[in-house]
Structure 1
Amino acid sequence: MEQYRALVARLSGEEVLASVERLEAPPLQDGDVRIRVSYSSVNYKDALAVSPRGNVVKRYPHVPGIDLAGTIAASKDARFREGDSVLVTGYGLGVSADGGYAELAQVPADWVVPLPAGLTAREAMAFGTAGFTAALSVLRLEEAGLAPGQGPVLVTGATGGVGSVAVSMLAGLGYEVAASSRKADAEAQAFLRGLGASELLPPEALRMPEGKAIARERWAGVVDPVGGPALRDVLGTVRYGGGVALSGFTGGADFAPNVYPFILRGVRLLGIDSVLCPMPERQRVWARMAGDMKPAGLLDEIASEATLEELPEALRAILRGEMRGRVIVKL
């Protein structure tokens, strides 16, 4: 059996310990493919997978990594042949099945997306699940009527993975972008300006006046990977007919909305699911990401790189809120 290196998370008492181990590839089942992984990336869900209170992984030992890009090493599905360039995001990768933090990965062929022309494997993982989520958010807003010239588009959590890619994508598509982040240091502000943000706002600047159910119209659309109580304030300041694409809950899973933005301004709350997104839609989004949604500074400005050995610290950093942009994992 072929051996390969992987980052393995093991439950030890009430702690989850992650270290690089050597594993053996199991036999390939009908309908599955084996992928020689070139790159993966660091996502918030990956950090939860190695956290004892993350509630993401049900069984240990486990290989995290909710996305990957590489080439087919072996296939028992007629759609894929050895040497094909592919990527995988979502479904059960890195959650119910071992993930992308490994030199080899075996997954159902139904999860696999052919790498679109215009993207390398490294660029695909500079996007990763976070970039796919950002692109899906922008696409949903466009389908709801958003277009350049309608007013500023707000991105919350703008220095994070989803937020930073969304800022760069929107700016590249010609939108006026307002970026909100808890990080107010000069380096973070320079980072967001470099991605194309024209306005920088701390989260407290998004709050509605005390006692108000709705406030002055500000945003033509919103990409929100943060959620939490602040979502109520964001909804109350979206312009007539605008939408909020909600994809995350780093700010919490609960908020206390009221009906006014929906019935007085026709505001839409658009749920973004990047895990079970249907394959035809998934391929359409990746094609856009390889084309007009591909930021000019994807590798230079947005992404940095880490090895398997450096992963545990990178995962701890994202839980502490210290990560900026995207981190690519080189296998």
Structure 2
Amino acid sequence: MPFNAIVLSKEEKTGFSCSLKSISKQQLLAQEGDTLIQITYSSINYKDALALTNKSPVVRQWPMIPGIDGVGIVLECRSGRYQKGDIVILNGWGCGETHWGCLSQYAYLKSDWLIPLPNKLTDYQAMAIGTAGYTAGLCVQRIVDFGVKPQDGMVLVTGASGGVGSIAVALLTKLGYQVTVSTSKIEEDHYLRQLGAVNIIDGQTLKETGKPLQKELWSAVVDAVGSHTLANACAQTQYGGIVACCGLAQGMDLPATVAPFILRGVSLAGVDSVMANYDKRVAAWNLLAHNLDEKVLSHISNTITLNDCVEVANKMIAGQIKGRFVVDVNKRI
């Protein structure tokens, strides 16, 4: 039975195209995998936005169904790892880049890539969290495991109005940390304070070149911005603190010195959500499931259809959105 999916193509004569198409089950099953899933919800992340708009060479094989996130019902699993009817989550693993992803009504994936939906979450809530929230969970887990406690001082979250930042703020607040946020969207003051932010600073103040060492302000940092913002965050971190780095919204460069690391013992921890192992994924998702309530997820989430994805992607690239966008792949379009 044919189904709907967003398909990205790039041809020598016609160039890049993005359109909603009908895909056959035979085409889907020609992909590498062992588990057929009926997708209920997907989401739009920054990497999806780059793929949907062709603003960066995210896609490495053509044609491609984008969508690095998905949640759905197992229809068949040849590996035996999951049973028919199980509800599972996908985050990353090259989907939407080298393997057909989840901005589609069905996906054919490897069972090793999947984790069970935590009991405390609905499928919709899982995609309100999505890879952005799961990445935030990995960052916060890294800070907790490092030994930073709420009484050690303020935690900074950069790019706080985005998907990673929003959930990091809510999660840290729930765990008892005092959170300062930096954002270029100062007008989102009410939104961020509802998530638990204690202080709000203009993100532009971190985006310029700063001194190698600055006043010690943060016991820990969750950074999704990179470039000068990350360099300044490191320079402002307290002795023995940690900076969890997971994004590059400002840039991939790191115009910093070794001063914070060798004079203050600051640790810079890279956080990868794409290839993280099963145990790390389950731990992050359990942390999220037990510490994010329905009100927070409702506050940050918006529901769209497959037809809305390109418009949202363009706004995301332009920095014009906040929170999370859940894609109801089966909603009438």
> How does the TM-score come out when normalised to structure 1?
0.94
1:169 match: 171
1:49 match: 51
Unpaired segments of 5 or more residues in structure 2?
none
Comparing 64-73 and 224-233, the one that deviates more? 224-233
1:303 match: 301
Structure 1 residue 199 and structure 2 residue 199: aligned?
yes
2:154 to 152, 155, 163: 152
2:23 match: 23
Secondary structure of 2:98's aligned partner: coil
2:255 match: 256
Secondary structure of 1:105's aligned partner: strand
1:204–1:323 CA distance, 2 compared to 1 (3 A): closer
Structure 1 moving runs of 4+ over 3 Å: 12-15, 27-31, 204-210
1:266–1:30 CA distance, 2 compared to 1 (3 A): closer
Give the drift of 1:230: 2.1
Q: Residues 152-204 of structure 1: CA distance to partner in whole angstroms, max 9, x if unpaired?
A: 1100000011011111111111111111111122xx11110111101000024
Matched residue type, 2:25: A
2:268 match: 269
Contact (CA 8 Å) 1:235, 1:267: kept in 2 or not? yes
Secondary structure of 2:136's aligned partner: helix
Contact (CA 8 Å) 2:183, 2:201: kept in 1 or not? yes
Whole-Å separation in 1 of the counterparts to 2:82 and 2:30: 14
2:184 to 182, 185, 188: 182
Matched residue type, 2:202: P
Structure 1 residue 215 and structure 2 residue 217: aligned?
no
1:206–1:30 CA distance, 2 compared to 1 (3 A): closer
Matched residue type, 2:67: G
Secondary structure of 1:291's aligned partner: helix
1:147–1:48 CA distance, 2 compared to 1 (3 A): same
> How does the TM-score come out when normalised to structure 2?
0.93
Whole-Å separation in 1 of the counterparts to 2:327 and 2:55: 24
Structure 1 residue 7 and structure 2 residue 6: aligned?
yes
Matched residue type, 2:322: R
Whole-Å separation in 1 of the counterparts to 2:284 and 2:48: 22
Matched residue type, 2:129: F
Give the drift of 1:28: 7.3
Q: What does 1:56-95 correspond to in 2, within 5 Å?
A: 56-95=58-97
C-alpha root-mean-square deviation of aligned residues, in Å? 1.8
The alignment of Structure 1 onto Structure 2 pairs a total of residues equal to 326
Q: Residues 203-246 of structure 1: CA distance to partner in whole angstroms, max 9, x if unpaired?
A: 24347996x32111100110001001222111111011111100
Unpaired segments of 5 or more residues in structure 1?
none
Give the drift of 1:51: 3.0
1:151–1:30 CA distance, 2 compared to 1 (3 A): closer
Comparing 12-21 and 321-330, the one that deviates more? 12-21
Matched residue type, 1:312: V
Whole-Å separation in 2 of the counterparts to 1:131 and 1:115: 14
2:240 match: 241
Give percent identity, aligned residues only. Answer: 38
Q: Residues 118-166 of structure 1: CA distance to partner in whole angstroms, max 9, x if unpaired?
A: 1111111011000000000001011112111211110000001101111
1:134–1:30 CA distance, 2 compared to 1 (3 A): closer
Matched residue type, 2:36: R
Give the drift of 1:6: 0.6
1:323 match: 321
- Structure with bigger helix share is 2
Contact (CA 8 Å) 1:9, 1:17: kept in 2 or not? yes
1:198–1:224 CA distance, 2 compared to 1 (3 A): same
1:199–1:81 CA distance, 2 compared to 1 (3 A): same
